[in-house]
Amino acid sequence: MTISRQLQYALIKNVAAPLLVKTDAWKSARSFRAKKDKPNPPFGPRLESYIKLKELMLEHYFTGRYADGAVPVAWITSGSPVELLRPFGFHIVYPENHAALCAVRRRAKDLCVHAENEGFCRDLCSYARTDFGSVMSGQTPVGRVPKPDLLVTCTNICQTALAWYKVLARKFNVPLYVFDTPFIYGEGEEHDVDYIVAQFHELIEMCEKVTGRKLDQKQLTYHTQLGCECSKAWGKVLDLCRNRPAPMTTFDAFIYIGPIVAMRGLPECLSFYKFLHDELQDRVSRGIGAIQNERYRLLWDNLPIWFAIRDLSTAFAQGGFNFVCSTYTNAWAETAHHFDPNDVYRSSAKLYSRIILNRDLRNKADLILKLCRDFQCDGAVLHSDRSCKPYSVGQYNLADILNREHGIKTMILEADHGDPRSYSPEQGELRVKAFMETFQ
């Protein structure tokens, strides 16, 4: 870390970024006011929270450009225990979040091709390929992504993340901590918790080594507690969609998920979700729905098809179909109740290991049925994601159970979360239309 980099970073973070955000926010607010009361069919009125979200993400990525050399930088997976890193002052980069952004901005394909040209097989997860392509070509829609001083991967989302980060560790030649959360069949075992708790301490030790700072236990408790509150606040936001009509669609939630993934444990994350909650609550009290004519309610399973969110949400909304819940958005809220401030480590071990992707299919089936009940779903769309095997295996059987045993009309949509070459929009749209017709 050099003083000049630190100075530059402080200047950017405290002066330039807020200024940029203010200007952008002013412009957005103006255009928002202009559009606010205009009809937006087939959707309901626009949310002001969207502007707040843009500000938050803009600031995050903008300050990130100047982070390396000034503050320690860590690249971590979405399921990693980020709260542990906060007390050390890391700027956190989420390659998955970045890859999703690339997909939304239609940059993922070229980055994937770049990685494939370097020998990475096309059957690998498109997040990983997008990330490799971006690392190797230096291309990104966010200007610049700071280089890591530390890599942390957590196996609670997949084993893919393990191999992916092994590759990154060689490319950057920086330490990698593998946070291993054994897959849970049934209810999990006590020795899993012991193993995970021991790893919390190992990770802290590694952070101390990389940053040269000692852990401040108070800070850790603060961020862990805050992280948990963020998750709960996110859960409350999602729960508002139990109302009829739902004030937000799951496709919106895919966009609003950014802060809970990338800023968990920070006060701005919490205040954002409080703002969003209030705005949605207001909609609920006035009976305003996220789509104009909510006739049927659906559940979404698996990651979003990032590059097709807009097309799909429009197609469904036009038919009067609203997605009101998803196993994916729920994943950042579902384990928050495990947290116990009196036993931070053991309770966090449960919080991190008991997410849907780290548990068996019996659990997933029960969870989907519970969501369908709680959110009064008439149907479900299971996105069979070529890039995500752990999330996709079992969907054929799940669809069968939902259809036959519970009368919940279910379709499988074959696609990919990031690579548009693995999705045929024509066929997808046709299937969606046929699916909607079965409700008539």
Residues near other proteins (CB under 8 A): 113, 116-121, 123-125, 128, 153, 155, 158-160, 162-164, 166-167, 169-170, 176, 178, 180, 182-183, 185, 189, 191-192, 194-195, 198-199, 202, 360-362, 365, 384, 386, 389-390, 392-397, 401, 414, 420-421, 423-427
The three-state secondary structure class of 142 is coil
Q: Smaller CB distance to other proteins: residue 202 or 278?
A: 202
> Which residues neighbour 52 within 8 Å (Cβ) at sequence distance 6 or greater?
272, 275, 276
> Which residues neighbour 73 within 8 Å (Cβ) at sequence distance 6 or greater?
67, 90, 91, 92, 93, 146, 147, 148, 149, 150
Q: Smaller CB distance to other proteins: residue 90 or 200?
A: 200
Q: How far is the CB of 331 from other proteins (least distance, A)?
A: 16
> Which residues neighbour 43 within 8 Å (Cβ) at sequence distance 6 or greater?
249, 290, 291, 292, 313, 317
Structure tokens at 423: 């999705």
Q: Smaller CB distance to other proteins: residue 29 or 113?
A: 113
- C-beta atoms surrounding 394 within 10 Å: 16
Q: How far is the CB of 87 from other proteins (least distance, A)?
A: 21
Question: Is 341 within 8 Å of 221 (Cβ atoms)?
Answer: yes
Q: How far is the CB of 313 from other proteins (least distance, A)?
A: 19
The three-state secondary structure class of 393 is coil
Question: Is 364 within 8 Å of 356 (Cβ atoms)?
Answer: yes
Q: How far is the CB of 43 from other proteins (least distance, A)?
A: 25
| Amino acid residing at 247 | P
Q: How far is the CB of 214 from other proteins (least distance, A)?
A: 21
Q: Smaller CB distance to other proteins: residue 93 or 154?
A: 154
Three-point CA angle 165, 170, 175, nearest 5° = 70
Q: How far is the CB of 159 from other proteins (least distance, A)?
A: 5
| Amino acid residing at 286 | R
Question: Is 134 within 8 Å of 102 (Cβ atoms)?
Answer: yes
Q: Smaller CB distance to other proteins: residue 142 or 365?
A: 365
Q: Smaller CB distance to other proteins: residue 37 or 426?
A: 426
Q: With the CA atoms of 184, 190, 191 and 192 taken in that order, what torsion angle do they form, in degrees rounded to the nearest 10?
A: 30
**DSSP string of 203-243, one letter each residue:** HHHHHHHHH-----HHHHHHHHHHHHHHHHHHHHHHHGGGS
Q: How far is the CB of 8 from other proteins (least distance, A)?
A: 33
Question: Is 56 within 8 Å of 272 (Cβ atoms)?
Answer: yes
Q: How far is the CB of 424 from other proteins (least distance, A)?
A: 5
Question: Is 385 within 8 Å of 415 (Cβ atoms)?
Answer: yes
Q: How far is the CB of 229 from other proteins (least distance, A)?
A: 29
Q: How far is the CB of 381 from other proteins (least distance, A)?
A: 15
Q: Smaller CB distance to other proteins: residue 243 or 327?
A: 327
The three-state secondary structure class of 81 is coil
Q: Smaller CB distance to other proteins: residue 119 or 143?
A: 119
Q: How far is the CB of 92 from other proteins (least distance, A)?
A: 20
Alpha-carbon separation of residue 159 from 154, 170, 264 (angstroms): 9, 18, 23
**DSSP string of 344-392, one letter each residue:** HHHHHHHHHH-SGGGB-HHHHHHHHHHHHHHTT-SEEEEEEETT-HHHH
Alpha-carbon separation of residue 397 from 365, 371, 385, 394, 434 (angstroms): 9, 18, 15, 5, 21
Q: Smaller CB distance to other proteins: residue 23 or 397?
A: 397
Q: Smaller CB distance to other proteins: residue 256 or 306?
A: 306
Q: Smaller CB distance to other proteins: residue 15 or 434?
A: 434
